[in-house]
Amino acid sequence: MVKAIIFDYFGVISSDEYWNLVKTDKNVTSDFLNMANRVNLGSLHWKDFMQMIADRTGQTLEQVKAMYSSERINPQVVALAKELHENYMIGMITNAHHEFLEPIIEKVGLEEVFDAIIISSKVGYIKPDKRIFDIALKELGVTAGETIFIDDIERNIAGAEVAGIKSIHYKSFKQLKQELEGAL
């Protein structure tokens, strides 16, 4: 019986403009993925990361900041999470730097939708590491078998499944709704 649903942030709840800017497949190992992993683990400061991205893409720092400011919340996914929250524990696991994401969470009011928000730079693990999923399960008070995880990146789906969590590979809102209906 499903008791909790955990959402990814970038690419599911929000757009993911970083990968559009760097023009690299987020499912393939690259220097851009390695830089993202470092900032998401908290081992690279947010300001330094943005400057590195500017330098490596030929953009100005202001253009990189504007790119991050252009990311948009998907209102359909947030509305779905709110609806599901009536019957399930709702969580979010994100590979992100807290200096960037926490102001957005507060501004948008996401802490009202999610019972647990796990930000990788605060816990020191990034998806697909099993330990980040274990932290979310503990905070939600559920087992892996009682949980569904939703993400747009295949390696993160695989990591959740290694942790014993049933997963949905997000491709579109319509597809997500159909697969969730079948899983609940």
Domain boundary among 69, 87, 105: 69
**What's residue 82's pLDDT?**
97
Residue-range definition of the domain harbouring residue 173: 4-15+73-183
Residue 28: its pLDDT value, please? 65
Q: Are residues 8 and 99 in the same domain?
A: yes
Highest-confidence range of 45-49, 68-72, 99-103, 173-177, by mean pLDDT? Answer: 173-177
Strands 89-94 and 166-169: unpaired
Pairing of strands 4-8, 166-169: unpaired
Domain boundary among 50, 69, 88: 69
Q: What confidence category does residue 70 fall into, taking pLDDT thresholds of 50, 70 and 90? A: confident
- Shared domain check, 93 and 173: yes
Look at the chain and report how many structural domains it folds into: 2
pLDDT band at 69 (very low <50, low <70, confident <90, very high): confident
pLDDT digits (tens, 9 = 90+) for 6-24: 999 999 999 887 767 776 6
Examine the fold and report which residue of 30, 45, 69 is the final residue of a domain before the chain moves on: 69
* CA 50 distance to own-chain centroid: 19
**Helix intervals (H) in the chain:** 17-22, 31-41, 46-57, 61-69, 75-84, 98-108, 120-123, 130-140, 154-162, 173-183
Compute φ and ψ for 163, nearest 5 degrees: -75, 0
pLDDT-based confidence at residue 94 (cuts at 50, 70, 90)? very high
174 lies in the same domain as 130:
yes
User: Residue 148 in contact with residue 183, Cβ under 8 Å?
Assistant: yes
